[in-house]
Amino acid sequence: MSQAPLLIYLDGKLVPESEAKVSVFDHGLLYGDGCFEGIRIYNGRVFRLTEHLVRLYESARSICLTIPISLEEMEQATLQTVAANQLRDGYIRLVITRGVGSLGLNPYQCPKAGIIIIASGITLYPKEKYETGLNLITCATRRPAAAALSPQVKSLNYLNNIMAKIECIQAGCEEGIMLNEQGFVAECTGDNIFILKGGQFFTPTISSGALNGITRQAAIEILNDMGLSVREVTMTRHDIYTAEECFLTGTAAEVIPAVQYDRRPIGSGKPGPVTAEVMARFSKLANSTGTPVPYA
């Protein structure tokens, strides 16, 4: 992470972080009305930038939010923000707010969406957890049904996930499993989940309430390259209790082992060998592919 004050992209301009401010009348703040993406920079390249931008524009379209610049312009703005901050490794937070409007829900009173791009760093879990593995609980907070709000919309209102995260922290765990309304496993508070059982990998279907994670997709490709099949299934807690290995995926988390669930060991209770291989391959993939940053 660079030491100098960050330059933030705000509505078309790069401004010092001390000047990067939004109105108290922005509906992103008033109602959590907007959407976002988290993206990684590895070794001077942005990992799966197009995939993240496609998902961002789909989130926006789903909530009738017009992003005032094209996907290609957003790509350039993102790369320029990373370059301006001289970041070779880091994290990009791309935020689209509904924009400034009057008090009251009506989004059509907000004439122009706001665009914020922050390129900085992120540390989600302590480094040793990648060697020792995470402990998970079952969160009482359920994922909302798609009919309430599609889990595919990465909205600025993450309270559902935050409520579940509070449960994890209060239980002394780093992450937790969120079930859908039917009681099937959807995902974790900010990560997707994979389990190994009988030589096959399993992950919950998107229709179970899981976000279609970019890292999830990368993990599926890696497992297929390793000659392992991945089945997208309706997953129960029993499946995790009886799994041989388990790992989580996410842009911030990358690929991380999980070794305990509801205080029961998963498999041997230690990170498994296949998980270690997936982690190594993910690191290689992330550090050798992606859109190059146009540094000056």
Which residues are designated catalytic? Answer: 154
User: What token pair was written down for 39?
Assistant: 């993206």
CA 251 from centre of chain: 5
38 contacts ligand PMP (rule: CB under 6 A): yes
Q: What is the DSSP string of 41-66?
A: EETTEETTHHHHHHHHHHHHHHTT--
94 contacts ligand PMP (rule: CB under 6 A): no
| Binding segment toward ligand PMP, per CB under 6 A, in 87-95, 126-134, 224-232, 246-254 | 246-254
165 contacts ligand PMP (rule: CB under 6 A): no
Candidate list 213, 257, 267, 290; residue touching ligand PMP; CB under 6 A: 213
């995790």: which residue's tokens? Answer: 240
User: What token pair was written down for 37?
Assistant: 């993406």
Taking the least distance from each CB to ligand PMP, the nearer of 7 and 249 is 249
List Cα–Cα distances, 291 to 39, 72, 166, 263, in angstroms: 12, 13, 35, 41
211 contacts ligand PMP (rule: CB under 6 A): yes
187 contacts ligand PMP (rule: CB under 6 A): yes
Candidate list 250, 257, 272, 290; residue touching ligand PMP; CB under 6 A: 250
| Nearest alpha-carbon partner for 188 in 171, 207, 170, 203 | 203
CA angle 283, 284, 288 (to 5 degrees): 115
Candidate list 192, 203, 208, 275; residue touching ligand PMP; CB under 6 A: 192
Residue 1 CB, nearest distance to ligand PMP (Å)?
Answer: 20
**Distance in angstroms (rounded) separating the CA atoms of residues 120 and 213:** 21
Instruction: Tell me which residues touch ligand PMP (CB under 6 A).
Output: 38, 161, 187, 190-192, 211, 213-216, 249-251
